[in-house]
Structure 1
Amino acid sequence: MSSSEDDPESTRPRWAIQFDADGGDADGGQCARIADAVRAAGIRDLVLLAHSAHNDADTTADVDARFRDLFTDEAADDDVGFVSVHWPGMRFEPEPRLTDATESALRRTFPGQDRVIAKLRALVDERPHHFGAVDDVGMMLRRLVEEPLDAPVTAYATDMSDELLPQSEPAMLFDSTDHVCEGFARALEQAHQEAERTEQRPERIEQPGRGTEAPTVSKSGTLTEAESAGPRPADAPADWLSRPEPLTPGTRAFGATESKGAHDRLWDGAHQLLCQGVSYAIRRRAGLIGGTGLAPALGQLTEALPDTRIHLVGHGAGARLVAYAVRGLRTARGGPASVTLLQAALSHFAFAGRLPQQMRGGGALAGVAQSVAGPVVCVYSHHDLELGLLFPLAYRMIGESPSLVGADRMWGALGYDGVQGVEGCLTLTLAGALAEHALPSSGYVSVDASAVVRGGAPPQGAHFDVFHPELARLVRAAGRVGR
């Protein structure tokens, strides 16, 4: 456990809690020491921050500091403290090559897999022309991320309830590797086209009709699923994602000559397959750590600090960790005061009690808002290409098919178009959410931050563009921090 005492330039009380890949407490006494320090510092509001940028110690410290600085710039409360949640996660840079730093991060994230990681880097760097080279990427990637079927982490592979599918492995690891890489290459091309547009699509504000005039489906989202009027992304980020058809183009005709452009395109897709395969494993791990590590830690902190309000903030895969921690809470004293999920790498149906396209079953996180004293605020942006374009391709599980709806609806991400399938979920723009008393006192609320969360190079787009003072104000408003 680290603290602000280790950093003379720190302007706010801060600590860190460390979990291993199985959700285990690093030394068993972290929560007790944090609770003692929080009481001694007179902390009234304790903000727990979870993200996935743990490539190395410097990256972790930098991202932690940038989040804390947002709050420092916004107000000078002396009774607000911060706990950073550290766990074996990582993020990729946008360039289509693996750097030395990224390889080192992979070795830290997947200890004991040095040979496999070295082979994967050699393949995506050298881009060999020999037959089966791309298939080798798929084979090595499966070795890197595979877990025994009875391993606890497999229960966190999907955000849907486990009664829906007996098999929860992502299809991208088992489908034809050539086809999957073609699909990711297609998504990368679309991401670059989006980035090159000089004008962004306008926002659309939809009003639900009444009676026979009520729309069933719109391009901007299904109002009968969201049960609210409000901002929606103008369309799916790529038309082909919204169509109920195979997500990958056909293979080359037998004997056809492959051009250099086609070869490079396929290997760009292979690199993205590696990124998404690793991201899947990290999201899966985040759920496990949230459910088995952070959840009991929150219970201990809540019990030890009855006069301190705890606020959870998660970004990307860190948002998944936070959400599963709330689901795993087992305390009679109530849960956190608020939860804010920034660009969450979660299914947009994760909180749904029933899936609109299924006869039975719902989201794995249905009902978690009941464990939160305040609101569950879900921030999204349709400039997040990582979640809008790549997540739907990576999220499809074995046995699933978008036969009636497009991939963007069935496998869409919470951080791209907000909460779906939850009756009564309020949807607000970021400016609207920051108005006085705009946020509900409990339940779910989607906040469209597209006007602010919009910067970033493809293929990730605005996924990491979350260091804005408006978002710090949103966290404060959600938890009534400082009031």
Structure 2
Amino acid sequence: MSDSAHDPDTTSAPWALQFDADGGETDSEQGERVAASARAAGVRDLVLLAHTAHNDAETTTDVDARFRALFTEGTADGGEGPAGDGPGFVSVHWPGMRFGPEPGLTDATESALRRTFPGQDRLIADLRSLVDERPRQFSAVDDVGMLLRRLVEEPLHAPAAAYATDMGDELLPQSDPAMLFDSTSHVCEGLAHALERAQEEAERAEQRPERIEQPGRGPEAPTVSKSGTLTEAETAGPRPADAPTDWLARPDPLTPSARPFGSAESGRALDRLWDGAHQLLCQVVSYAVRRRAGMIGEGGLAPALGQLAEALPDTRIHLVGHGAGARLVAYAARGLKEATGGPASMTLLQGALSHFAFAAHLPQQMRGGGALAGVARSVAGPVVCAYSHHDRELGLLFPLASRMIGESPSLVGADRLWGALGYDGVQGVDGCPTLTLADALTEEALPSSGYVSVDASAVVRRGVPPQGAHFDVFHPELARLVLAAGRIAR
């Protein structure tokens, strides 16, 4: 690969598809190269993987290689392309990035931000200066919020604005999350509180087993579900035994206290606010990356999939996505034309999208469903959603970052209303089974079509706060899950 994950030269790789920030292909001939490579190798199954680790060329190459190694281990060919008689492996490259667990911004992270948001060098430098220097003024924290709004704002008519949330189909308007418009100091304090809770939760060695509820139906159905809410009584799906923190599940405001002007504790409060301000930067950027992923998936990868299907009529295509990459491939499936042969399977690993994204009806409102309702009809095989209760990024921070203006978590808690697919699986879809990873890997355990949640907590469990196990996905069991979902012979 070339020296830059975002340089045009990257597309010269015969086993890669590259898209720009608007979803356009950076090289009009890249699809033909992939098809030609697949034909030359004689592959019958082509696995397309999208992840978010495109901070730089080295990171992209490393993550691609680690994923590919899961499929090539023990075979003669450990490089790009097919492993012996195994599947071909195609990397989907796009302008995304991920944050590490370090509390500040490194030079490498600043460089990644510049790649992800080209033309915003001065604004990014100002953000880093504030987050690093931590001026002893509350107004400086508010400046962080102002700069972040400028960094990610999109006009209402911009294409990206249509991908702001997974919590609404065409009946519902799209809007940015409340963290961009609420009081910056209050949001930062709430995020600081969440970081403290993440640290406390990391000290727990184990979690109690989850519970799985069936939707209430008929005259004998309970009026209140086990989780204690009226709306949840009609919502199927796995429930964590507990919310990631009791504070997140409470119906109280998500900000613990008011801004302490003139308080003797103002020094300590400022330190907490700056901790929260750094996390606000991470979450706002992650939100913008997820929004972009949806647009690239539907507007970029979907047409490319159609072209590959036409060029390779005898090859089965399988979609795999991790984190925001899961959102990208899911929206790609939504964007496929009915006449196009759909992918043979889709596997989402720690998906950074709403756990109600596939629901035909959202439990907290009378009309409207998830933005990806019905996507399973575009996939010939199963839509497998692997999740882990050890993913703190999705279990704790994602709900806070996804809260929308005017919506209250008073009935179900923020973790349920704005929860993530990669934390507790598919929600609100009747007939969606939930399997442990061990059970899912037994012969013929996965359904031949439709949605299925797979609890991968047994292996996806390692990581430090605040992300927890979000990036702990390099396991042979997960590669076997992809192969099982696609009925791919190894």
* Superposition TM-score tier, normalisation by shorter sequence: over 0.9
Structure 1's 207 and 109: CA in aligned 2 closer, same or farther, altered over 3 A? closer
Structure 1's 167 and 445: CA in aligned 2 closer, same or farther, altered over 3 A? closer
Shift of 1:333: 4.2
Check conservation: 2:169, 2:372, Cα contact below 8 A.
no
Shift of 1:256: 1.2
Name the CA distance, whole Å, in 2 between partners of 1:223 and 1:410: 10
Which one-letter code corresponds to 1:405 in the other structure? V
Matched, 1:116 2:123: yes
Which one-letter code corresponds to 1:440 in the other structure? P
3-state SS in 2 of match to 1:89 = coil
Check conservation: 1:74, 1:469, Cα contact below 8 A.
no
Identity score, percent: 77
Match of 1:217 in 2: 225
Which one-letter code corresponds to 2:209 in the other structure? E
Name the CA distance, whole Å, in 2 between partners of 1:349 and 1:307: 34
Matched, 1:19 2:19: yes
Match of 1:480 in 2: 487
Match of 2:9 in 1: none
Check conservation: 2:50, 2:325, Cα contact below 8 A.
yes
Match of 1:382 in 2: 389
Name the CA distance, whole Å, in 1 between partners of 2:367 and 2:36: 46
Check conservation: 2:440, 2:446, Cα contact below 8 A.
yes
Structure 1's 204 and 161: CA in aligned 2 closer, same or farther, altered over 3 A? closer
Name the CA distance, whole Å, in 1 between partners of 2:260 and 2:380: 59
Matched, 1:426 2:433: yes
3-state SS in 1 of match to 2:15 = strand
List per-residue Cα deviations over 1:317-355 (Å, max 9, x = no partner). 000000000000015242000000000000000000000
3-state SS in 2 of match to 1:262 = helix
Check conservation: 2:426, 2:432, Cα contact below 8 A.
yes
Shift of 1:260: 3.7
Name the CA distance, whole Å, in 2 between partners of 1:155 and 1:455: 35
Which one-letter code corresponds to 1:456 in the other structure? G
User: Greater shift after overlay, 344-353 or 207-216?
Assistant: 207-216
* Aligned pairs (5 A) from 1:64-463: 64-73=64-73, 77-163=84-170, 165-166=172-173, 168-197=175-204, 199-206=205-212, 208=214, 212=220, 216-219=224-227, 227=236, 232-463=239-470
Name the CA distance, whole Å, in 1 between partners of 2:268 and 2:465: 19
Check conservation: 1:204, 1:233, Cα contact below 8 A.
yes
Check conservation: 1:287, 1:324, Cα contact below 8 A.
yes
Structure 1's 464 and 352: CA in aligned 2 closer, same or farther, altered over 3 A? same
3-state SS in 2 of match to 1:339 = strand
Which one-letter code corresponds to 2:323 in the other structure? G
3-state SS in 2 of match to 1:464 = coil
Structure 1's 288 and 329: CA in aligned 2 closer, same or farther, altered over 3 A? same
List per-residue Cα deviations over 1:412-435 (Å, max 9, x = no partner). 000000000111001001011011
Structure 1's 409 and 180: CA in aligned 2 closer, same or farther, altered over 3 A? same
User: Greater shift after overlay, 138-147 or 202-211?
Assistant: 202-211
3-state SS in 2 of match to 1:462 = coil
Check conservation: 2:189, 2:255, Cα contact below 8 A.
yes
List per-residue Cα deviations over 1:81-108 (Å, max 9, x = no partner). 1110000000001111000000000000
Match of 1:57 in 2: 57
Match of 1:6 in 2: none
3-state SS in 1 of match to 2:46 = strand
Name the CA distance, whole Å, in 2 between partners of 1:155 and 1:168: 8
3-state SS in 2 of match to 1:346 = coil
3-state SS in 2 of match to 1:444 = strand
3-state SS in 2 of match to 1:142 = helix
List per-residue Cα deviations over 1:5-49 (Å, max 9, x = no partner). xxxxxxxx9611100000001121111121112111101110000
Give the alignment's TM-score, normalised by structure 2.
0.92
List per-residue Cα deviations over 1:216-240 (Å, max 9, x = no partner). 4234999855546xx6421110112
Name the CA distance, whole Å, in 1 between partners of 2:69 and 2:120: 36
3-state SS in 1 of match to 2:301 = helix
Which one-letter code corresponds to 2:45 in the other structure? D
Check conservation: 2:358, 2:371, Cα contact below 8 A.
yes
Structure 1's 288 and 204: CA in aligned 2 closer, same or farther, altered over 3 A? closer
Match of 2:78 in 1: none
Structure 1's 22 and 453: CA in aligned 2 closer, same or farther, altered over 3 A? same
Shift of 1:141: 0.4
Match of 1:10 in 2: none
Which one-letter code corresponds to 1:342 in the other structure? L
Structure 1's 331 and 464: CA in aligned 2 closer, same or farther, altered over 3 A? same
Shift of 1:78: 2.2
Check conservation: 1:434, 1:473, Cα contact below 8 A.
yes
Name the CA distance, whole Å, in 2 between partners of 1:220 and 1:372: 35
Check conservation: 1:349, 1:355, Cα contact below 8 A.
yes
Name the CA distance, whole Å, in 1 between partners of 2:198 and 2:462: 13
Which one-letter code corresponds to 1:126 in the other structure? E
Shift of 1:183: 0.6
Match of 1:5 in 2: none
Matched, 1:39 2:39: yes
Structure 1's 171 and 32: CA in aligned 2 closer, same or farther, altered over 3 A? same
Check conservation: 1:351, 1:366, Cα contact below 8 A.
yes
Shift of 1:164: 5.5
Name the CA distance, whole Å, in 1 between partners of 2:210 and 2:285: 35
List per-residue Cα deviations over 1:301-324 (Å, max 9, x = no partner). 011111101010000000000000
Give the alignment's TM-score, normalised by structure 1.
0.93
List per-residue Cα deviations over 1:233-288 (Å, max 9, x = no partner). 21110112212221112214442123543222110100000000000000000000
Match of 2:29 in 1: 29
User: How many residues are treated as equivalent by the alignment?
Assistant: 470
